Amino acid sequence: MIVVTGGSGELAQAIGIELAKRGTQFRLISRKSERKRQLVIPVEVVESYNLLSIDAKVDTLLITNGFFIFKSLEQLSSEQLNELIEANFSSVVSIMRRFLKDSNSSRQRDVFVVGSTAAYDLGAGASIYGALKLGIKGLLQSLNKEYASVNTRFSLISFSTIDNSMGRLVPDQDPSTLLNLQELASEICDQLTRKRNYFEPEVILRRRFIQDHKK
């Protein structure tokens, strides 16, 4: 059983479609406050991720939560800054904590978190977003040491700009270079469903051609 949070997002929906094609059991979960669009795959709604309940039989968690604004630090309002921190860091920590407390620690458990190549590039216009993703990268590195004695592993899946509504918020994009949403979903599902005696702490998928972006 795979649980996917951020379930109303375009990436989570594409992953849900791919998992359904593969006959894999999964749940998509979304917060009530998250923006809703026309959904192909139904989601379970929770008031807050602090109230999330995970069945003990769940052994795989994918966190797709994220929020992006292309602005300098000075241009961000206090509300936007808080939303960035909550969506890209605080909620991720809450979800992982709930999963670790509720699931069966005697079984193999795998936690996957969607990151971003912004954590490696730390470019202008995305300083807070990149720093928060870098913070998640450090957190997962630490958790892999913290849980080294049990069969629980944490993986970061980072990728460049996707050809979706969030990705198109970045100006000066050449659409032909953006990552295909369905292809990316398939790659992520390969990671989720592949059971083996090794794990990949970091997976990085970059575009072959990247533009410099103007602020």
pLDDT at residue 123, as a whole number: 87
For residues 143 and 100, what is the distance between their CA atoms, to the nearest angstrom? 11
Which residues have a Cβ under 8 Å from the Cβ of 78 and sit 6 or more positions away? none
Residue 52 has pLDDT above 80, yes or no: yes
Which pTM does this prediction carry? 0.92
Question: How distant is the alpha carbon of residue 38 from its chain centre?
Answer: 20
Evaluate if residue 152 carries a pLDDT over 60: yes
**What is the spatial distance between Cα 61 and Cα 110, in angstroms, rounded to a whole number?**
6
pLDDT score of 30 more than 90: yes
Query: In one letter, which amino acid is 26?
Result: F
Q: Which of 49-58, 113-122, 204-213 has the lowest mean pLDDT?
A: 204-213
| The three-state (H, E, C) secondary structure of 87-136, written as one string | HHHHHHHHHHHHHHHHCCCCCCEEEEEECCCHHHHCCCCCHHHHHHHHHH
* 205 contacts 184 by C-beta, under 8 angstroms: yes
Q: Encode pLDDT of 166-198 as tens digits.
A: 777 777 778 888 999 999 999 999 999 988 889
What is the arithmetic mean of pLDDT over 116-138? 94
- Domains of the chain, earliest start first: 2-205 (3.40.50.720)
Mean pLDDT of the chain: 92
The string over 5-32, giving b where at least 16 C-beta atoms fall within 10 Å of a residue's C-beta and e elsewhere, is bbbbbbbbbbbbebbeeeeeebbbbbbe
For 64-165, list the strands marked E by DSSP: 109-114, 152-159
- The model's pLDDT over 141-150, given as tens digits with 9 standing for 90+, comes to 999 999 999 9
Partners of 203 in beta bridges = 157
Banded model confidence at residue 35, pLDDT cuts 50, 70, 90: low
Q: What is the pLDDT of residue 6?
A: 95
pLDDT higher than 70, residue 213: no
* Strand-pair partners of 150: none
Check whether 117 has a pLDDT greater than 80: yes
> Region 52-58: what's the mean pLDDT?
93
